[in-house]
């Protein structure tokens, strides 16, 4: 395991392996990759989608960072909160439902797109809490990644629960609209985790702060967490 104590991003030649969902890559990590192309040209970022062996790989020290909700992290390794994410109900901009405030009945009467991750078909944080509302949804399509969702909404009357950061970003490129859910969905605390032997790695600390700084919505912090003390 590498535990470098002196780190100069402008001259460093290093690869960081990061496990994160396509939602995090698209809405947060993409901004970092763009900036580092000029500010730290020797830094290579390898993004790996979560799977059933990701936590085992982190335990063995094969990964630099794992990013996700707390319940998906490895046991016994340090973690920190990166930012707080909220969810929205998204749909095609031409969907008449978005011409007025969304009602709970309207949301559950519509067809929906759900996300199911990995070979074990893991239910997402958002969909799990939407099921907890206690009303059944008519699922018309199931996709295996978060970034597929907005493409499946365009030209239809379907709805989907989306991360706010992803919805904000995709609304710049696709004709989608979004609104706050008319029922309670808990905020999602997005965490970053690393192997305990890397706690003094200044290069890894620099990377974590880059990720935290990239967690903005339209230039505003919107729930980005300040640097906390690592928790074991």
| Residue 230 burial (10 A CB sphere; 0-12, 13-18, 19+) | middle
Question: Does residue 191 contact residue 71 with C-beta atoms inside 8 Å?
Answer: no
At residue 149, the pLDDT reads 97
What's the fold here for domain 87-179? Answer: D-Maltodextrin-Binding Protein; domain 2 (3.40.190)
Contacts (Cβ under 8 Å, ≥6 apart) of 230: 78, 79, 80, 199
- Residue 120 pLDDT grade (very low, low, confident, very high; cuts 50, 70, 90): low
- Is residue 226 over pLDDT 50? no
> Rounded mean pLDDT of the chain?
88
Higher-confidence residue of 53 and 19: namely: 19
All structural domains of the chain with their residue ranges:
14-84+187-214, 87-179
Domains 14-84+187-214 and 87-179 share a fold: yes
Higher-confidence residue of 132 and 181: namely: 181
- Is residue 125 over pLDDT 90? no
Residue 202 CA, distance from chain mean position: 24
Mean pLDDT across 74-78: 89
Superfamily of domain 14-84+187-214: Periplasmic binding protein-like II (3.40.190.10)
Mean pLDDT across 151-159: 98
Q: Report the percentage of the chain scoring pLDDT > 90.
A: 70
Residue with tokens 């063995």: 60
At residue 220, the pLDDT reads 40
Among 88-92, 193-197, 215-219, which stretch is predicted with the lowest mean pLDDT?
215-219
- Is residue 207 over pLDDT 70? yes
Q: Of 115, 29, 12, nearest to 66 (Cα)?
A: 29
- Is residue 38 over pLDDT 80? yes
Question: Does residue 128 contact residue 100 with C-beta atoms inside 8 Å?
Answer: no
At residue 228, the pLDDT reads 44
Residue 195 CA, distance from chain mean position: 20
Q: Which residues pair with 112 in a beta bridge?
A: 139, 159
């Amino acid at each position: 395991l590498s535990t470098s104590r002196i780190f100069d991003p402008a001259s460093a030649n290093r690869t960081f392996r990061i496990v994160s969902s396509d939602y995090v890559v698209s809405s947060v990590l993409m901004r970092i990759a763009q900036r580092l192309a000029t500010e730290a040209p020797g830094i290579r970022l390898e993004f790996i989608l979560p799977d059933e062996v990701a936590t085992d790989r982190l335990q063995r020290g094969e990964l630099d960072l794992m990013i996700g909700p707390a319940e998906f992290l490895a046991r016994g390794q340090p973690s920190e909160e990166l930012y707080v994410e909220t969810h929205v109900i998204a749909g095609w901009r031409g969907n008449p439902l978005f011409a007025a405030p969304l009602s709970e009945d309207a949301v559950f009467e519509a067809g929906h797109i759900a996300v199911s991750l990995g070979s074990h078909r893991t239910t997402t944080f958002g969909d799990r809490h939407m099921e907890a509302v206690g009303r059944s949804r008519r699922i018309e399509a199931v996709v295996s990644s978060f970034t597929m969702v907005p493409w499946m909404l365009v030209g239809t009357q379907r709805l989907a629960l989306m991360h706010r950061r992803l919805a904000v970003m995709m609304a710049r490129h696709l004709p989608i609209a979004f609104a706050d859910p008319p029922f309670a969905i808990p905020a999602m605390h997005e965490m970053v985790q690393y192997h305990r032997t890397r706690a003094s790695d200044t290069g890894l600390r620099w990377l974590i702060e880059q990720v935290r700084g990239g967690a903005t919505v339209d230039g505003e912090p919107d729930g980005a967490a300040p640097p906390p003390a690592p928790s074991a």
